[in-house]
Amino acid sequence: MAKEDSKKPEEIIKQLKGLLKNGGKFFICGPSINNNKALLELHSKIGELPKMHKGFFENFAVPFIKENFGNVQVFKFKNPVTFPDINSLVEYWLSYSIGDKNKVNQFKMIAKNEFKDGKKFTTVKEVIGILAFK
């Protein structure tokens, strides 16, 4: 279940906290506001980005959990993903929530500039993890 997709994440987090024993651990993770930034910037050249829950962890989850739990630790995990050629990038783009089969040719046109002179394209998957203790 994705907490950032919930209509009432506050209630879910409070209910989960209530299930914990004293000293129990609560861990939640999800995409940061900078997740796949390079890919999203590239995609934005062919059209508007779909509505996404950008910043849920930074803007809501971290402050809310810090307010409701005693001891909170926040971690950032970064994983650069490099694509050696345009076909591997297009395949990834299509598998991601922004990919659109009807815009493949448009995407290839703008993406080909990223591979000039043997260059590779890198985007960074970035996740925030929150560990809280009751």
The predicted structure's pLDDT at residue 1 = 44
Is 27 within 8 Å of 113 (Cβ atoms)?
Answer: no
Q: How many CA atoms lie within 13 A of 34 on its CB side?
A: 10
SS3 at position 68: helix
The predicted pLDDT at position 51 comes to 66
Give me the mean pLDDT over the 103-113 stretch: 96
Exposed/middle/buried for 111, CB within 10 Å: 0-12, 13-18, 19+?
Answer: buried
Report, as an integer, the average pLDDT of 92-113. Answer: 95
What range does the domain containing 28 cover? 3-133
Q: Is the model's pLDDT at 114 over the cut of 90?
A: yes
Query: Which CATH number is 81's domain given?
Result: 3.40.50.150
Dump pLDDT digits (tens) for 40-79.
Answer: 999 999 988 776 657 889 999 999 999 999 899 999 999 9
- State how many domains the chain has: 1
**Rounded mean pLDDT of 14-21?**
94
